[in-house]
Amino acid sequence: MAYADHSQGSSRTISIVIVALIHAVLGYAFVTGLGMKYVKKAAEQLNVIDVKEEPPPPDEEPPPPPPDQPVEPPPVVAPPPIVRTPAPAPPIQTVRTPPPVFNPVPVAAPPPPPPAPPPPPAVAKGVSPRGNPGTWAGPDDYPSRALREEKQGTTGIRLQVGADGRVTDCTVTSSSGSPELDETACRVVSRRARFNPAEDTGGNKIASTFSTRIQWRLPE
């Protein structure tokens, strides 16, 4: 399109120049008194010139439109974080509490200790066995299990003797190594032993203790 405009402009310029020359020649001819024939001849020669305008170039086909391109969605921009300004802390109020009031509670006095037992009466005469203590346990009293296991030894016992001279309790103070021998010693002596009870300074019979030992020997 720019080329066609340029060609048309050039042709118009030439035409204008030629027309101007014709007018100048005609004017000169009238001024100089030239004959009309020369003027006509020049005019005919000038009229013969036909300026042909060049045809405009064919219109160029517009280039095809570019293919549709997918429109990318705009990037997702996270909203700015919301900064919450913490509320100002309430003023700290100091509360003074009154000092605690202690009401003393009366503490009950502990109960008095129980009275101490009366001291044992003074023994003026000790307890003594009646008869021979060797007869309190014999070979016939040997436990059958101890015989089968061939157990033997010496059992130490302590007897509680009442005011009537009878045994009220028996305690093994030293074991023979066989429970059967120890149990038999307390059982037969408590049943057979008799004592002369102890007496205090006033001649009253009182309870007392008596210790002895029973020897267990296997028969030969």
Q: Read off the CATH number of the domain in which 158 is found.
A: 3.30.2420
Total domains in the fold of the chain: 2
Q: For every one of its 220 residues, what pLDDT tens digit does the chain have, with 9 covering 90 and above?
A: 444 444 555 667 777 777 777 777 777 656 565 455 554 565 555 544 454 556 666 666 666 666 666 666 666 666 666 766 766 666 666 656 666 665 667 777 788 888 887 776 677 788 999 989 889 998 899 999 999 999 999 999 999 999 999 999 999 999 999 999 999 999 999 999 999 999 998 889 999 999 999 999 988 7
In-domain check, residue 41: yes
Name every residue whose Cβ is closer than 8 Å to that of residue 177 and which is 6 or more positions away in sequence: 151, 153
Give pLDDT, residue 209. 94
Final residue of a domain: which of 29, 48, 67? 48
- Taking the C-alpha atoms of residue 212 and residue 128, their distance in angstroms, rounded to an integer, is 12
Indicate whether this model's pTM tops 0.85: no
Q: Which residue bears the tokens 């974080």?
A: 81
- Taking the C-alpha atoms of residue 120 and residue 206, their distance in angstroms, rounded to an integer, is 10
Final residue of a domain: which of 16, 32, 48? 48
In-domain check, residue 175: yes
The neighbour count for residue 146, using CB atoms within 10 Å, is 20
In-domain check, residue 135: yes
In-domain check, residue 57: no
Angle between helices 36-48 and 2-32 (to 10 degrees): 170
Domain of 185 in residue numbering reads as: 123-216
Q: Is there a contact between 30 and 22 (Cβ–Cβ < 8 Å)?
A: no
Query: Residue 140 in 3-state DSSP?
Result: helix
In-domain check, residue 80: no
Give pLDDT, residue 181. 94
In-domain check, residue 127: yes
In-domain check, residue 71: no
In-domain check, residue 163: yes
